[in-house]
Every structure is written in structure tokens, then in C-alpha cells.
Amino acid sequence: MKMRPKVIINAAMSVDGKIALRGGRRIKISSEEDFCRVHQLRNRVDAILVGINTVLKDDPRLTVKEKFVKNPKNPVRVILDSKLRIPSNARVLDNKAPTIVITTESAGKREINAEIIRCGKHHVDLRCALEKLYRRGIKSILVEGGGTIIYSFLKEKLVDELWIFVGSIVIGGGAPTLAEGMGASEEEDVILLKLLKCEIIEGGIVLQYGVLYD
Ligand SMILES: NC(=O)c1ccc[n+]([C@@H]2O[C@H](COP(=O)([O-])OP(=O)(O)OC[C@H]3O[C@@H](n4cnc5c(N)ncnc54)[C@H](OP(=O)(O)O)[C@@H]3O)[C@@H](O)[C@H]2O)c1
């Protein structure tokens, strides 16, 4: 592919790899110290990206809190939404930061408080999306989930760094995990990581990985 932004994934999971409660309801996994780390990370990138289900389930703001960063700069918010289902009252469509919704050629027309970009016919084409964002001056992106989006980025070999906070809790059962999608059925399909850093902080462990693509 042509030039693309640097892609960093960040997520918080339980010890058993879950990122939400059963049914997808949000749970606070990060500690205050981890929130501070995430907001500093947000402040260093050009854009923060999530999938449409995260918007529908959590209604996040995706801004940088002044509590954690002095004079925050608020990166562009990017939502991947193939069918343009985003509710008009979603918090990411407020005026706190610019927002780009990436959808497909097959999605209908709608007026929303965001720029709309089309990439792919029925499913957002990640490479096309990254190229278009790069051309708009976005040189680094923090992908914050959920598990379906994280797996797509990893599977398509588009990830440079992976940061995981492992909170000291167990959720159990069939709750959403860090990496959803099809998953690997053959050993050669697993995604290999290289552990770069491991740090104990309040409430859990921060792990930093690089991704080993062949
Ligand atoms: N703990 C954490 O750090 C954390 C962070 C964020 C979210 N979460 C949790 O994650 C859960 C949501 O995760 P999720 O896996 O259900 O959904 P998601 O990853 O937020 O969104 C997935 C959706 O994005 C759309 N999409 C568009 N282009 C895509 C592409 N190229 N590849 C994959 N998906 C694409 C698809 O819907 P369309 O086909 O309609 O476009 C897909 O179903 C929530 O329960 C939330 O609480 C946890």
C-alpha cells in the first residue's frame, strides 16, 4: 500500500481477555493511572478510531480530558461505520473535536455533524481508509476498539504497536474479547507479537507489543 499513518492499538482487558461485560455492556477496567496513560497517548496522535459498535454500546466522547493532560489538543475522531448507522446524537458528533465517519459506497446519504468518507463497496476497506486519512494529514492513529475492529487491523497487517492494560479482574463467560472476528483455525494464521515492555501500575499491568508480520 502507499503511505499510511502509524497505527497504535490500545485497549483494556480483564485477566481472561474480555473488554466488556457479557452482552457488550461497558465496564471500567482501567485504573486512574491507566486512564492518565491513555489520555496522554490520545494527546500524542493525530486521530482516535473506533468501530460503530463501540459508539452504539458505549457512546464515548473520544476526547482528551484536561484532568489528565494540560491544554489537550483533541485529535480527529474516526468512526468505521459501513452502513452509516451512527445516531445523530452520538457524543462523537458533538463539536468538541472534528469527526470523520468512514462508510461505504452502498450506504445511503445522510446529513450528520461530521465529514463522511466512502471506502469500499459494502464493508469499509481499511487500506483505502488509512490512505485517505494519511492524505488529510493524519500521520498517527490510536485504534481503541472494539474487538472486531482490533482483529481486522491485526489481520490485515496494519498495526505497528499494541498497548494492553490487563486489569486485575475476571469477567468470564462469552463477553467480548480483545480480538473478535473469525480468529485463526490454523497455527500459521495466528498473529505473532513481540513483547517490548511490561509495567505494573495501579490496578494491573501495562503490556506493550510490536507485531511480527512476515
Ligand atoms: N475495554 C476496552 O478497551 C474497550 C474499548 C472499546 C470498546 N470496547 C467494547 O467493545 C465492544 C464493541 O466491540 P465490537 O467488536 O462489538 O465492535 P467494534 O469493533 O466497535 O465495531 C465493529 C463494527 O465496525 C464496523 N466495521 C466497519 N468497517 C470494519 C472493518 N473493516 N472491520 C471490522 N469492522 C468494521 C462493522 O459494522 P458495520 O458493518 O455496520 O460497519 C463492525 O460490526 C463494546 O462492548 C465495548 O464496550 C472495549
pLDDT of res. 214: 75
At 44 the three-state DSSP class reads helix
* Ligand 1 mean position, distance from CA 57 (Å): 9
pLDDT of res. 213: 85
Closest ligand 1 atom to 50 CA: 20
If you average pLDDT over every residue of the chain, what do you get?
A: 97
pLDDT of res. 57: 96
pLDDT > 80? residue 2: no
pLDDT > 80? residue 71: yes
Q: What are the b/e assignments for 21-52, b being 16+ CB within 10 Å?
A: eeebeeeebbbeebbbbbbebbbebbbbbbbb
Top mutation candidate among 82, 126, 127, 131 for ligand 1, by most atoms within 8 Å of CB:
82
pTM of structure: 0.97
Residues enclosing ligand 1, CB less than 6 A?
11-12, 19-20, 24, 26, 29, 50-54, 57-58, 80-83, 85, 123-124, 126, 144-149, 152, 176, 180
Percentage of the chain modeled with pLDDT above 90: 98
* Ligand 1 mean position, distance from CA 149 (Å): 5
The CATH architecture of the domain made up of 6-212 is 3-Layer(aba) Sandwich (3.40)
Bridge-based pairing of strands 204-212 and 192-201 is antiparallel
pLDDT tens per residue, range 99-146: 999 999 999 999 999 999 999 999 999 999 999 999 999 999 999 999
pLDDT of res. 80: 98
d(CA 119, CA 130): 10
Top mutation candidate among 14, 34, 35, 54 for ligand 1, by most atoms within 8 Å of CB:
54
| Interval 152-180 mean pLDDT | 97
pLDDT of res. 47: 98
pLDDT > 80? residue 181: yes
pLDDT of res. 1: 65
pLDDT > 70? residue 5: yes
